[in-house]
Structure 1
Amino acid sequence: MNENSFNVVFTTFLFLLALLPAVYLRYLPFHTILTPKVRRHLLRGYAVIFFAELVISLLLFFFGVLSYSFYTFKSFYIFCGFLPYFLLNLCLIRPYVAQHIFILGMQFILSATVSTVSILLVLIFTGESAFFDYFSSYCALNLTIYLTILPIVRPFFEQIFLRFSTISTDRFWVYICPLPLLMLIHDIYFSASAKILAVRHLFPRLLLLVSGVLIALTAWRGLEYILRQAATTERNLMLLTRINSIGEYTRTLQDKQARLAIVRHDLRHNAQMLADLISRGEEDAAMQLVKSMNAQIDATRVEHFAGNPLIDAALSVYVRQARQKDIAVEIKVDIPASFTAEVDLSLVLCNLFENAIHAEEDEPPSQRAIRILSRTKGASLFFSIENRTSAPVPLNADGLPESKDCLPDHGHGTRSLLLFAEKYGAEFFTKQKDGWFSVLLHVPAVERMER
């Protein structure tokens, strides 16, 4: 091998370094769902792969096992540049096989485009016969172009899974992931040559880029459509839940009205008995009768928690459920009697309250508690629901509690909050402190309605 040793080392290092932006793009869609431990393992694995490929490549070059040529680097680019990192992602980021394949295909289309542009720019000054003499310039240019376009393509790779994480899309990815993968295999098949094909395959590479853009748009728009359909279904389910809650609230009122009718019917008899006991000096028996009458009257009392009828109905239903499960409930609600978002907010409240009740079932009976607080300041509404927790609550990519798959209709509380925030421009965040888990909601502009 007549090439200068330093040039071989520098070019090989620069070539492998130019592959790392592609590795970053394949990691980016999953980074929010990874634990710190998995992230550390991935970064260490990437470093090990990079330096292992560098050392092994240099050894193969210097011992003459492989020729130091453009074809060798092309083979490295097709196989070594993608396969080890891809397999590492499959092993450590699970279970997202279809998503990994889709991202690999989309990233390869981007990489092929960047590589083609870089080769064409170098060929302008060198020509095909002298191209490999300036291969390090190609590597540097490829890396520069990739880093330049990274901010443009990053939102797609970063959001393609995160934006639609509130809905189940596994089947969608199974169906769509073969498209970019088959294009990847097709391009590799026709690129497996020692020749420089960037000029000859320029038109197919342009079609490859166009196809990649169309696949990206199809995936994004398709998922948006699925999200809208899921939102519609979600709202229908929430409305059904709300109807059931109102039905239960109505039955409670009817039961109290029936009790009140009995109290009114017995009031005259109880008054006569009380007068008779007092006249005979039986004070203890009279006090027992008074207590019994008070208990009967209290049983007919309808407990109100808010001046808004919809919010009050939602709270009444779930306060009753919480008390049946020995959960202490504290409610201090200052809320307008009527406002534009009252229906949607009552649905969110129903779901979050139900989630809090389910969470408290895992706590010891003596430590179960839920607090609901709200206040209105100017045109803004501040709302919070808190429940006791003895263990850290795992959060998803949106900062909300992860759904419990074992529960029926799991995930509705968090999704309803996301939809409400998007519709009304509301802000929310969660907090875990001093044994309490809190969901806080700020609705910036609450418009009053005339009744």
Structure 2
Amino acid sequence: MGYICLTVFLFCVSLLPPAYLRYYPFRSIAGLPTRRFLIGGHLIIFLLEFILLSLLFYRGMLTFDDGVFQKLYYFCYMPHFLLLIFTIRPYWFRHLFVLGLQAIYMISIHTLALEVFKLLLPQAWMFNRFHLYFVIYLTLFLLGMPLMMRILRQLFTPRQLLGKRPSFWLYLGPVPLLLCYYHGNAGYMTLDPSLLFLPSIQLYTVVTRCVLLLVGLFLVMSIRDGILQVQKMFCLKERNLQLQEQLTQLNDYAVSLRQEQKELAILRHDSRHQLRMLAELVENGHYREAEQLLLRLQEEMVKK
């Protein structure tokens, strides 16, 4: 029973770091209540799965055969996946993209852990000592997490997540998962266990996983550079719109200035005409008419 609990415990623990990696790119828009909810949800899922799997193994409904944990992974990781996508939404295809990147990392760590396991503990490998594998896997996974977090750190910014969702994620989101599916069905896991110790097979698996890692890395870099380029284009467009608005304001000001100059010219012309009339009235001794003209001019000035 102790071996069962230890192995199942390590298996359930191995699901938690990947869950955090999937959350990490979305951390910038997750508030404190959301974070607490996710932590509580993942812990509850962990406890329920640990209890359920321990009982199933203890009662003999599950056995420690080759591939049992590989099959259990798809079932046991699904609640962690659904918890995040329904808590931080509606970024469905971006969640798929991050899930694919995380799967690429997990497959690579899994392959490396298997090679280390076979190299250092060949007897334990032959007798399915899974708890030793999980110890190696968790150690390698945690050692590589800082690098993976650095890669995912700037994948999404709050502005990208909260702004308009680009349509290209609909087509790009599933790409890493499709790559993982292709590599996962390359026939490596269906080989005779004795063949897995052949140097050629070991070299092949390591090289293919390295290629998969490089493809994932280049994909992330391409996405980041593409998004930055799109942001620069949007910023340039905003600046152009601002400049256009400023030019429109300047044009309106110039039009109003020309109109005022035109009105001022008319006013100067009228003023000269009225001054001539006033001078003629004074010269001819028509003081009353001159006074009335001055009063009328004063009223017009007040109205203006």
Instruction: Judge same fold: TM > 0.5, yes or no.
Output: yes
Show the counterpart of 1:91: 86
Distance 2:238 2:127 in 1: 58
The equivalences for 1:184-195 within 5 A come to 184-189=180-185, 190=187, 193=190
Q: Of 151, 155, 170, which residue of structure 2 is paired with 1:156?
A: 151
Answer yes or no: is 1:66 the counterpart of 2:65: no
Q: Which letter does structure 1 place at the counterpart of 2:179?
A: M
Aligned to 1:183: 179
Change (3 A) 1:212 1:95: same
Give how far 1:59 is off.
1.2
Identify the match of residue 229 of structure 1 among 213, 230, 233: 233
Contiguous gaps of at least 5 residues in structure 2? 279-286
Question: Which secondary structure does the structure 1 equivalent of 2:110 belong to?
Answer: helix
Equivalent-residue separation in structure 2 for 1:161 and 1:63 (angstroms):
45
Q: Which has the higher strand share?
A: 1
| 1:104 to partner: Cα distance | 0.5
Tell me: higher relative CO, structure 1 or 2? Use CA pairs within 8 A at least 6 residues apart: 2
Q: 2:284 maps to which residue?
A: none
Match status 1:117 vs 2:121:
no
Once the two structures are superposed, what CA deviation does each residue of 1:389-429 show, in whole Å capped at 9, x if it has no partner? Answer: xxxxxxxxxxxxxxxxxxxxxxxxxxxxxxxxxxxxxxxxx
CA distance in 1, matches of 2:155, 2:117: 34
Shift in alpha-carbon separation, 1:206–1:39, aligned structure 2, 3 A: same
2:17 aligned partner:
21
Residue in structure 2 matched with residue 217 of structure 1 by the alignment: 221
Taking structure 1 as reference, are residues 204 and 79 closer, same or farther at Cα in structure 2, changes over 3 Å only?
A: farther
Structure 1 residue 194, shift from structure 2 partner: 9.1
Q: Does 1:249 align with 2:226?
A: no
Distance 1:207 1:294, change over 3 A: same
Q: Deviations over 1:100-120 (max 9, x none)?
A: 111110110011111211221
Alpha-carbon shift at residue 180 of structure 1 (Å) = 0.7
Q: CA deviation digits over 1:136-167, x for unaligned, max 9?
A: 23322322222222222213322111177186
Is it true that 1:238 corresponds to 2:233 in the alignment? no
The 1-side partners of 2:121 and 2:244 are apart by 70
Aligned ranges 1:40-439 → 2 under 5 Å: 40-81=36-77, 83-127=78-122, 130=125, 134-162=129-157, 165=160, 168=164, 170-189=166-185, 190=187, 193=190, 199=202, 201-265=205-269, 267=271, 269=274, 289=298, 293=301, 296=304
With over 3 angstroms needed to count, the CA separation of the structure-2 counterparts of 1:176 and 1:295, relative to structure 1, is farther
Aligned residues: 283
Instruction: Please identify the structure whose Cα radius of gyration is greater.
Output: 2
Contact 2:155 2:224 (C-alpha < 8 Å) held by counterparts: yes
Shift of the 245–192 alpha-carbon distance from structure 1 to 2, 3 Å rule, reads farther
Per the alignment, do residues 143 and 258 of structure 1 end up closer, same or farther by CA in structure 2, a change over 3 Å counting?
farther
Q: Which has the higher helix share?
A: 2
In the aligned structure 1, how far is the partner of 2:163 from the partner of 2:21?
Answer: 23
Alpha-carbon distance in 2 for matches of 1:73, 1:295: 92
